[in-house]
Copies of this chain bind each other. A is one copy, B any other.
Amino acid sequence: MSGVTLKNAIKRYGETQVIHGIDLTIDHGEFCVFVGPSGCGKSTLLRMIAGLEETTDGVIEIGSRDVTRADPAERGIAMVFQTYALYPHMTVAENMGFGLKMNGVAKAEITERVGEASRILKLDDYLERKPKALSGGQRQRVAIGRAIVRGPEVFLFDEPLSNLDAELRVDMRVEIARLHKEIGATMIYVTHDQVEAMTLADKIVVLRAGVIEQVGSPLGLYNDPDNKFVAGFIGSPSMNFMEAVVEGAGVRIPALDDMIVATDVALPAAGQPVTIGVRPQNITLSAGDGTTTLGLREHLGGVAYDYLDTKTGERVIVESRGESEVKSGAPVKVSFAAEDAMFFDAKTEARLR
C-alpha cells in the first residue's frame, strides 16, 4: 500500500509562508491532480512530497512510512519534470537506466527493465539516440520511462505536458491515462490545464494561495463546487458570474434587465447582494428587446461563442451550437433553467445551497 498522506504540511521560505498546513490523503493507485492558479503552490507541494523541498513543518507519509525528512532517493517516488530534465549527454537508454545504475543494480537487470519500459512507451527505436535528436513528445516519453524504470510506488508529474504543442498534448494525455491504468501506481499530477485535470483525475485538489479550496472528483467539482473560486476555475469557458440581489424566494439580476431567478437554496435576507453563476453552455439566446446586446460572435465551426454586452458592463459568454439568427449588435434575450444557476455569497464567495 502506498498512498500519500500529508498532515498539516507547511512550507516557509524565510518569512513568507507558501503552503499553509495542507491535510490530504491520496489513496493507493489513485490519480490525483493538483490544480490552481499560477503561484498557488502546486509545484511546491509536489516537490515537498518528492523531498526536493524541505518540509518546514508537518508530516508527509508515503505508504505508512514517515518520509518527511527522508532523502528524495529513498522515498520510493519518481518524478517527471515539466522540462523533462533529461541528461543531454546520455542516450535514451542511459537516461532511463541512470537511476538503477546509481543504485548499483546489475547491468543485465538494467537492460531488461529499460527494455520493458521502452516497450510500454514505444521507445524501442530511439534507445540509442541522445535527447537532442528526439521530438518533444518523445522526450516526454523518455522522462516518463525514466520514472517507470525505477518501479516507484508513487509517480509525481509537474506539468509534464505544458511544453508540448496542442496536438501532442492530447496524445500524451491519453497515453498517461493508459499508463495509469496499466501500472496502477499512485500518481500525483500538477497542471494548470483544465482539460488534463478533468480527464485524468480520480481526484482533483484545487489549491489557492497555499490552501486547499476543494477536493473531489472531476464531475463532483464541476457539478457541485463549494465556492465561487472552484466554480469559476473548473469548466471551460468558465462560468459567467453576475451580481444579483435577493428578492423574495429568488434573486434579481440587474445585468440582465432585472431578470428574476427563483431558487430554493438558502439565500440571505432580501436586499442582500449575492453572486449568481451560470455556465455558458446552459444559456440560450433569442432575439429580444432589452438592453443586453450581442457583441462579438466567434464561430469555431461546430460551436460559437457569443460575447454579450450587458448594461452593467458585466460580460456574459454564451456557448451556442448550430446557426443562430441573432446578428452581432442586436439586442438579445437571455434565458437559462433556474436549476442550472448557482448562488454564492457575495462576500465569502461560499456556495449557497
- Which of A2-10, A244-252, A297-305 sits within the interface? A297-305
Binding site for B on A (CB under 8 A): 38, 165, 170, 174, 177-178, 194-195, 198-199, 218-219, 222-223, 234-237, 279-282, 296, 298-303, 305, 307, 319, 321
- Contacts of A299 on B, CB cut-off 8 Å? 198-199, 218-219, 222
Measured between beta carbons, the chain B residues less than 8 angstroms from A177 are: 296
Contacts of A307 in B (CB 8 A): 174
Contacts of A223 in B (CB 8 A): 301
Asked if A222 and B296 sit within 8 Å, CB to CB, the answer is no
Tell me, rounded to whole Å, the shortest Cβ–Cβ distance linking A311 to chain B.
19
A194 to chain B, nearest CB (A): 7
Across the interface, name the chain B residue whose C-beta is closest to A237: B170
Can you show 24 pairs from A to B with CB atoms below 8 A apart? A170-B237, A174-B296, A177-B296, A178-B296, A194-B300, A195-B298, A198-B300, A198-B301, A199-B296, A199-B298, A199-B299, A218-B299, A219-B301, A222-B301, A235-B300, A235-B301, A235-B302, A236-B301, A279-B301, A279-B302, A281-B302, A281-B303, A281-B321, A282-B302
SS of A interface (majority): mixed
Copies of this chain: 2
**What is the CB-to-nearest-CB distance from A63 to chain B, in angstroms, rounded to a whole number?**
29
* A236 lies within 8 A of B300 (CB): yes
A260 to B111, CA, bound (A): 49
Residue from B199, B301, B303 within 8 A of A234 (CB atoms)? B301
Q: What separation, in Å, do the CA atoms of A170 and B305 have in the docked complex?
A: 12
Greatest chain B CB density within 10 A among A177, A198, A282, A298 is at A298
Find the B residue at minimum CB distance from A307.
Answer: B174
Nearest chain B CB to A38 CB, angstrom units: 8
Of A194, A223, A296, chain B has the most CB atoms within 10 Å of the CB of A296
Q: Which residues of B contact A236 (CB under 8 A)?
A: 300-301
A189 shortest CB reach to chain B, Å: 15
Q: Which residues of B contact A303 (CB under 8 A)?
A: 281
| Chain B residues within an 8 Å CB radius of A280 | 302
**Nearest Cβ in chain B — how far from A335, in angstroms?**
17
The residues of B that contact A281 with a CB separation of less than 8 Å are: 302-303, 321
Output the least CB separation between A21 and chain B (Å). Answer: 29
- Shortest C-beta distance, A336 to chain B (Å), equals 13
Minimum C-beta distance from A12 to chain B (A): 27
* A234–chain B nearest beta-carbon distance, Å: 7
